């Protein structure tokens, strides 16, 4: 069993969240000059909550600190590029 990726948390209490959304995933980005950008489409890849297929949300969340188990930080540029590819 894996430990939380938060360096201040050593928990092994993980909740797996998975859901099939096909092409009906919605993201809204509220930061910087792109404030209020929203997209509907496939689950975007590379933001820490996808399985790579575009149809499934798949992530683990630490039940002690609440961190999504992925690599952070994620740049605005990467978020916007992933949303554009939805």
How many residues can be counted in the chain?
Answer: 86
- At 6-32, the pLDDT tens digits run 999 999 999 999 999 888 899 998 876
What digits encode the pLDDT tens for the residues 26-53?
Answer: 999 887 666 778 899 999 988 988 888 8
Q: What is the pLDDT of residue 51?
A: 85
- Residue 69 has a CB neighbour count (10 Å cut-off) of 19
Q: What is the pLDDT of residue 23?
A: 82
pLDDT level of residue 1 (50, 70, 90 thresholds): low
Residue 47 falls in which region: left (phi positive, over 0), alpha (psi -120 to 50) or beta: alpha
């Amino acid at each position: 069993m894996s430990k939380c990726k938060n360096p201040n948390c050593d928990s092994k209490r993980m909740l797996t969240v998975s859901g099939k959304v096909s092409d009906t995933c919605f993201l809204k980005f509220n930061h910087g000059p792109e404030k209020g950008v929203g997209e509907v489409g496939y689950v975007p890849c590379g933001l820490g909550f996808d399985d790579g297929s575009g149809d499934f949300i798949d992530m683990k969340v630490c039940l002690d600190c609440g961190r999504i188990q992925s690599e952070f930080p994620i740049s605005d540029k990467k978020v916007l590029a992933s949303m554009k590819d939805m």
